[in-house]
Structure 1
Amino acid sequence: MSLSRSARTVLAAATVAAVALPLATTAARAQESGAAAAAPYAGLPSGTKQAKTLVIGIDGATFDTFSRADVPHLKQLMAKGLTARSNLYASPMAPTVSGAGWSSVATGVWPDKHNVKDNNFTAPNHARYPDYATRLETADPATSTLVVGTWSPIPQIVFGAKTDLRIAGGDDEGTTAKAADHLAHGNPDSTFVHLDEVDGAGHSSGSAGDAYLKALHTADAQVGRLLDAVTSRPTYADEDWLVVVTADHGHTPTGGHGGNTPLERGTFVIARGKGIVPGSVRDDVEITDIAPTVLRHEGVATDPAWNLDGTGLAELQPDAFDALRGSLRTPVDETGLPAGTKGWTHTAPEGWSIDNSKMPAGGVTEWRGWAFATDEFWTNAERGQGRETNVRARDVFAVADSDEWDDKAHGAGQFDSTLVSPSYKLNGAAKAILSYATNYRVDGPQTGDVYVAYDGGVPQLVKSYRSDVNTVERLELDVPAGAKSARLSFRYSGTNSAFWTVDQVALGRPNPPSQLAVASLEADTRLLGRPGSDAAWKVTANGVVRTAQGKPVKGAKVTAELTAGGKVHRLTGTTEKDGSVRFKTTVDQGVAEATLTVTEVRHENLAYCGELDPVRTLDLTRPTGHRG
């Protein structure tokens, strides 16, 4: 927050009574969910889930100070779980203030989507990007959601009215006591707790001061009380708890935040829970990943239509660029960075390459053509030029920066470099989806073009950039019939302009149009019983289901119809390991002819498309089997 400590205290005290009430009655929630009403605790409906989450936000906590601070509970969480440091945006996306930071945590998207750019909350886009408690309640109204915060906009604005109980704590002691009481004696499924007084100490004394370290120690003890409240629950042993600790921004050594320095932009995620490796450290986790992680833990799948920027920790995967972190280099020409800082390379990961055949000689070494870099290296090469908006890239990313390259003398001509992908194998599908995170910023003459070449042919233009874009692209490609491979290229040219970043490049290939084929279907008949009215024909049909490539398919559901004497016999079967399927039925003896047709083939992982097996005509007067 950017308010002074006294202003925050007055504002919080004035709003306690207004928000310390349940936002939905227990009876109403029970009616919505179709369940009997559970006894509430102090206005909080009883939860229904074995999986539970506790997210603790420490306002203004600077991770770099943890090594100097007495914070045993935080360090124990780090030892038993995951630690991930990352950087926030800065202006022009938004200043590093609490409104923007906590809204990013709660919604899972960055400020250019949730539209909270300051602490005034002038026009938040909550209808399009609600907080995760609202999404939990929307998915299942029986979920019990609790928010307790010292800074009153946390329970009043950041988390919406669908939240069951929103409490303003007044101060951190009040917040801790109220939250711990509900955790120990109530039954919330999802709890968010906001502690504010570390930020107040940062404003008063700066992150280098003793008062700041003392405030961190106090906040750590309050975190310990909240964790003790969780473990004291009589049902704790049977519950699955995910605990997350994070911050909305950092602080300068002398006090304050809102700018673009590394200490102001720096934030972190500490997480402990099932499936999280103890003592693990990651470089690709952002604060926007907290919301989808909570949702997933509570059993709510994120919908692609939500357009979240965050990804659940369990689904988050490193890309090829991230493998370069261990081989990154120290500065050569970028003398403004601290000595020994590692964060860039021109060596491409396996399968990737950089074509600098059109690049003039000279210029700043680090940015001569496409490079691979980290945010902490690239953005601090020169701050305040929009590089801090590159929040959708993770860990190591590809960057072409004509502005920084031009800061040193070079040969005649403009920056002109092409990043080339590996060759992706295709599978016969008519469409493919190209996706990548990108931040394209213009400050002069420049071009950015994406191409695809099939089977080594002439590159075809897929996308052109000529104005600012900051998004995750998902482009549908029309794949030529018979194409076996595709290679992507990203060409950037510019004259002392701005930059282009690319990350998380993926080519999705859906199932080809014909994965299943019924290779054969034969039938035989035999007469059951004595000739006459009490006899019947037994019909046995045998089929084999294979992929279009000839591999037998196990578990395919095959439906056939036998039409005889005006009757339709519907036959169903499931293929065995060798792809075989068998149908049996009986037909009246008086019927002389029948037709057998395969009508449908289904498999949970394969698509069937194309012609089904042709109709078989059976002469029932000439059985192929033995008479009974």
Structure 2
Amino acid sequence: MSSDTRIAASTWIESSRPKYWSFIFSFLLLPFSLFAQAPDIKHVIVIGVDGMSPDGIQKANTPTLDSILKVAAYSFKCQAVLPTSSSPNWASMIMGAGPDKHGVTSNSWQPHKQTIELECEGTKRNGKPSGMWPTIFGELRRQKPESNIACFNDWLAFNRLFEKGVVNRQRDANLLQAASHHGYKGITKKAVNYFKKKKPDFMFVHLDNVDHAGHHDGHGTQAYYDAVGVADQMIAKIVKAVQESGVAEKTVILITADHGGIGHGHGGDTPEEVNVPWILTGPSVVNGELQVPVETYDTAATLAYLLGIKAPDCWQGKAIVQAVAQ
């Protein structure tokens, strides 16, 4: 990563420090009902790093994440859902509920083969069951139709986890370099270029290189930590793009993962597989380790809060409002 990228990332991170420290403690005591929407936030970015564990961040060379953590609201004990497979957890993250509600219970799930009855308003299309639980993508499109929404994913199967036709721009690694397991580079480049050009209201970026290393070389190996370091470089490029776009003071970034891992796999209920990082940074974000439990399905509700839309009543997740000062 170039020195310019590090400098730009550092500048944006420093500019996002909360200004009203005396307000933090009283804020934590206020009920959620007082907050209809977050402060003046216009752009929200999620960077989801497949298979990245807290251990990976703590032991890898991650200068960007290390700098972000100094000014972020974070938890290293965000709880993934079971099984700790990719589809159930990415789905829970964007659907605001667990697999028992949205029905995505394995990586073989398909909307047209939904096996449970979805008890949520908005799960029908043209009067017929759609097989799709409402996602943050669809809700933002429904409630704010003019929003610019983008998704850049390094895993083709991610495409089936949200409603068709709700994003303005979508690219997956199969259109880039997936065959060589370097799709994350193309995905990051596409995301950076799109953000600079369009400044989307909501952008989701999925990186898969860390999960590849976990399966191929093993979690906790040097190769795995090296992959986390590479993901850190991709994060730096996105942070730099935000800074160069002139909207850093109105942009919040959430960095998280679908699961951790143990040995060469994941899917079980060990702490190494279940605990994932959840890191929120940007203007008005309260600095420090979160003292409230965080579930992966809280992500969708938090994103709805940041984007100023209402979370569907059927979502189980809660907005982590303790992470944001007013």
Query: Is contact 1:201–1:212 with CA below 8 Å preserved after alignment?
Result: yes
Separation (CA, whole Å) in 1 of partners of 2:302 and 2:270: 28
Which residue of the partner structure matches residue 112 of structure 1? 100
The reply on whether 1:86 has 2:86 as its aligned counterpart is: no
Corresponding residue to 2:256 among 236, 243, 246: 246
Which string of whole-angstrom CA distances, capped at 9 and with x for unpartnered residues, describes residues 396-426 of structure 1? xxxxxxxxxxxxxxxxxxxxxxxxxxxxxxx
Match of 2:134 in 1: 130
Question: d(CA) in 2 for partners of 1:151 and 1:120?
Answer: 14
Aligned runs of 1:32-43 on 2, under 5 Å? none
Q: Which runs of 5+ in 2 are unaligned?
A: 1-39, 124-131, 177-182
Amino acid at match of 2:297: T
Conservation of the 8 A alpha-carbon contact between 2:290 and 2:322: no
From 292, 296, 316, the counterpart of 1:309:
316
State TM-score, norm by structure 1. Answer: 0.40
Q: Quick one: structure 1 residues 102 and 83, their matched pair in 2 at CA, closer, same or farther if it must change by over 3 Å?
A: same
- Residue 61 (1) aligns with residue 52 (2): yes
What is the count of residue pairs matched by the alignment? 259
Q: In the superposition, relative to structure 1, how do residues 144 and 263 fare at CA in structure 2: closer, same or farther (>3 Å)?
A: same
Deviations 1:212-265 (A, max 9, x none): 01100000000010111111103x15x52111001001110x211111221111
1:457-468 paired onto structure 2 within 5 Å:
none
Quick one: distance in 1 between partners of 2:287 and 2:41?
A: 22
Which secondary structure state, in structure 1, belongs to the residue aligned with residue 59 of structure 2? coil
What amino acid does structure 2 have at the position aligned with 1:65? G
Higher strand share: 1
Deviation at 1:281, TM superposition (A): 3.2
Cα deviation, residue 294, structure 1: 1.3
Q: Deviations over 1:27-70 (max 9, x none)?
A: xxxxxxxxxxxxxxxxxxxxxx9611000000001112322110
- Which among 44, 68, 77 is matched to residue 77 of structure 1? 68
Give the corresponding residue for 1:593: none
Provide the rounded CA distance (Å) in 2 between the counterparts of 1:65 and 1:280: 17
Q: Which structure 1 residue ranges, 4+ long, deviate > 6 Å from structure 2?
A: none
Matched residue type, 1:71: T
Secondary structure in structure 1 of the residue aligned to 2:309: coil
Give the distance between the partners of 2:322 and 2:213, measured in 1 at CA: 37
Does the CA contact (< 8 Å) of 1:83 and 1:271 recur in 2? yes
Counterpart Cα distance in 1 of 2:133 and 2:250:
27
Give the letter for the 1:312 counterpart.
Answer: A
Between the aligned partners of 1:50 and 1:314, the Cα distance in structure 2 is 14
Larger RCO of the pair (alpha carbons < 8 Å, separation 6+): 2
Q: Distance in 2 between matches of 1:144 and 1:100?
A: 26
- The match for 2:179 is none
Cα deviation, 1:9-42, whole Å, max 9, x if unaligned, reads xxxxxxxxxxxxxxxxxxxxxxxxxxxxxxxxxx
Query: In the alignment, is residue 52 of structure 1 matched against residue 56 of structure 2?
Result: no
The offset of 1:278, in angstroms, is: 1.6
Q: Please point out which of 277, 301, 311 is paired with 1:292.
A: 301
1:572-611 correspondence to structure 2 within 5 Å: none
Measured in 1, the distance between the counterparts of 2:163 and 2:322 equals: 27
- What letter corresponds to residue 95 of structure 2 in structure 1? T
Asked whether the equivalents of residues 86 and 283 of structure 1 are also in contact (C-alpha less than 8 Å), the reply is no
After superposition, the CA RMSD in angstroms is: 2.0
Distance in 1 between residues matched to 2:81 and 2:308, nearest whole Å: 30
2:146 aligned residue: 142
Asked whether the equivalents of residues 83 and 282 of structure 1 are also in contact (C-alpha less than 8 Å), the reply is no
Q: Which residue of 1 aligns with 2:291?
A: 282
Cα offset, 1:276, TM superposition: 2.1
Q: Quote the offset at 1:315 in angstroms.
A: 6.6
Please report the TM-score for the alignment, with normalisation by the length of structure 2. 0.75
Cα distance in 2 for partners of 1:89, 1:157 equals 19
Residue 225 in structure 1 maps to residue 229 in structure 2: no
CA distance in 1, matches of 2:84, 2:61: 26
* From 164, 168, 191, the counterpart of 2:172: 168
Distance 1:78 1:315, change over 3 A: closer
Cα distance in 1 for partners of 2:267, 2:163 equals: 25
Q: Which residue of 1 aligns with 2:218?
A: 206
Q: Any idea what SS the aligned residue of 2:258 has?
A: coil
Distance 1:281 1:300 in 2: 23
Offset from partner CA, 1:452-490 (integer Å, 9 cap, x none): xxxxxxxxxxxxxxxxxxxxxxxxxxxxxxxxxxxxxxx
1:251 aligns to what SS in structure 2? coil
Instruction: Give the Cα separation in 1 of the matches to 2:167 and 2:51.
Output: 25
Deviation at 1:280, TM superposition (A): 3.2
Paired letter, 1:314: V
Q: How does 1:454-493 map to 2 (within 5 A)?
A: none
Local SS of the residue matching 1:307? coil
Deviation at 1:211, TM superposition (A): 0.8
Distance (Å, rounded) in 1 between the aligned partners of 2:149 and 2:294: 25
**Are 1:197 and 2:209 matched, yes or no?**
yes
The answer as to whether partners of 2:68 and 2:281 remain within 8 angstroms in 1 is yes
Query: Residue 283 of structure 1: CA displacement?
Result: 4.1
What's the CA shift string for 1:60-103, capped at 9, x where partnerless?
A: 0111232211011112221111111222233xxxx211000100
Q: Larger radius of gyration, structure 1 or 2? A: 1
Q: What's the offset of the Cα at 1:131?
A: 1.3
Say if 2:255 and 2:279, in contact at 8 Å, map to a contact too.
Answer: yes
Which sections of structure 1, spanning at least 5 residues, go unmatched? Answer: 1-48, 317-628
Q: Distance in 2 between matches of 1:105 and 1:271?
A: 14
> What fraction of aligned residue pairs are identical, expressed as a percent?
29
Which residue of structure 2 lines up, in the alignment, with residue 263 of structure 1?
Answer: 272
